[in-house]
Structures are given as structure tokens and as C-alpha cells.
Amino acid sequence: MDKMHIKAVAFDLDGTLLTSDKHVAPSSIKAISRLRDMGILPVVATGRNVALARHLIIQAGIPTPLINCNGACIYDWDHDTDLLHITLNEKASLAALEFARQSSCHLHVFMDHEIYFEEDGKYADFLEPISTEIGKVVDFSTFFNHPRFTKAMYIGRMEETLPVRRLFEQHFGDTLSLVYSHPEFFEVMPKEATKGAALATLMETYGISSQETMAFGDSENDIEMLQWVGHPVAMANASDQVKALFDNQAPSNDDDGIARYLESFFGWT
């Protein structure tokens, strides 16, 4: 693809723009600044909610609307408002609570830009210590009244989360979006909530086509986004599922992968 055709670049956060220690590499910050100098729009598309992504967006220097909760929400920083916010219906939300009771997984639910869980400790810090500061410990059996979650996330080993996935498939068929954002994070969103659909919606507001968009990702929840763009890039540390689908690959997130790929693509010196 001609580098002159690229008008926007979308980045996943965890495993992509972030290093394993949950920071944005200095090389990536510099690369994003160069994109902006070229008039190219940088965008973040993450499974995190606004509160968990805010400090990283500031660090990376990406003030554009944030695609969060795996595409269930697009948040406009400038006006402190949602451009898009899709939620699970009450039936699916209540099922999320019930299926957690039937499993050994730890459930985190996202609703109205808040995170709720029943236990503090290591599972509260599911991404980094800030998770505990932001999240709220509640009793799921009594706290929610007619809930409509933005997403539900089950944390546990694959052998613990797979039975939960099968329960959703059994009771809801293909009416929900069921993805792994990490081998230990199984996430449930409305069917129409994907990073790809949200990116398409956001790019339409800027008059940018899929063929004019590049995206970087590493996990199952990035697949729709990578399929939508004209220039998809899988990280070297991506899951085998993702790497099997996309030919373009960047070095790993711990090896300045974003900067090195963009430098090569645009011919930066």
C-alpha cells in the first residue's frame, strides 16, 4: 500500500502500544508525534474503559476520541461525552452474574464507565494497580437493579473461562460478542460492539475510508478491527490465531515494534 494513502492509524493498548510493564515506550510516543506532524490521525481502540485508559492516552499524546470497552463505547475527551455507547440487555447482564456464580472465574462488570467486582486483591489489579483505585467492590447479589452492562469480563485460566464461554454460546447463540483480549481475560459485549465496527463509525466522522486506515493489534478482540482496515499489522507477540490471519507483522511490543514498523513503512530516518 502507498504510504501516502494512510490517513489514520489505530492502536490496541495492552500487548500492542503498551509494553509488558504497561507503559508506552518512548519510541512509540515519538512515532505518534511524527504521525500527527504528517497530518495522520492516531486512534486508540482498547478493551479498557475510559478511566483505565486515561493516563495512557495522556502519556501517548493521543487526544482523539477513544474507542473503549472493545468497541462498545466511543468517548470524546473534548466534550466529556460518549459518541457511542452500546450495552448488553438486562437478560444477558443477569446471565453474566449467574454464570459467574456457576464458575470459578472472577467477574468484573463495566457499567456507566465504572468497574465493579466482588473481591479486592490480585484479581482487582487485573491490568495494573490503578485498577483497584478505580474499581468498586460490591455484592453482586444485591447491588444491581435491572443491570445493563457495557461488558462483562471473566478472569481465570483458560480451562476456567472456556466453560463460561460455552454457557453463553448455549444460551445466547451468536447474539453476543464473545472474545479473549488476553489468555486469561474472557469478555462479553453486545454483538454489534467490536473494535472494527466502532473504528468504522469513528472514521466515517472524519471522512476516512478503511483503505486509508492502518491498525495494530495482538489478540482475538482486535481481529474485526484488523479485518476492516486496509493495512492490518499483527504484533510479533500476537496470538497464533491473529498472526495466522494477517501477513504484515511488527516486532513485539517490548521491542519497539510500533516505532520500528512505522519507521520502515513511512521511510523515516
pLDDT (tens digit per residue) in 2-56: 677 999 999 999 999 999 999 999 999 999 999 999 999 999 999 999 988 999 9
Question: What ranges do the domains of the chain cover?
Answer: 3-85+193-266, 90-190
Q: Give the Cα separation of 70 and 120 in Å (integer).
A: 24
pTM above 0.85, yes or no: yes
Q: Give the Cα separation of 122 and 6 in Å (integer).
A: 41
3-class DSSP assignment, residue 108? strand
How many other β-carbons are positioned within 10 Å of the β-carbon of residue 189? 28
pLDDT (tens digit per residue) in 66-95: 999 999 999 999 999 999 999 999 999 999
Topology given in CATH for the domain delimited by 3-85+193-266: Rossmann fold (3.40.50)
Topology given in CATH for the domain delimited by 90-190: 3.30.1240
By percentage, how much of the chain surpasses pLDDT 90? 81
Q: Do domains 3-85+193-266 and 90-190 have the same CATH topology?
A: no
The overall average pLDDT reported for the chain is: 92
Q: Which residues pair with 234 in a beta bridge?
A: 217, 249
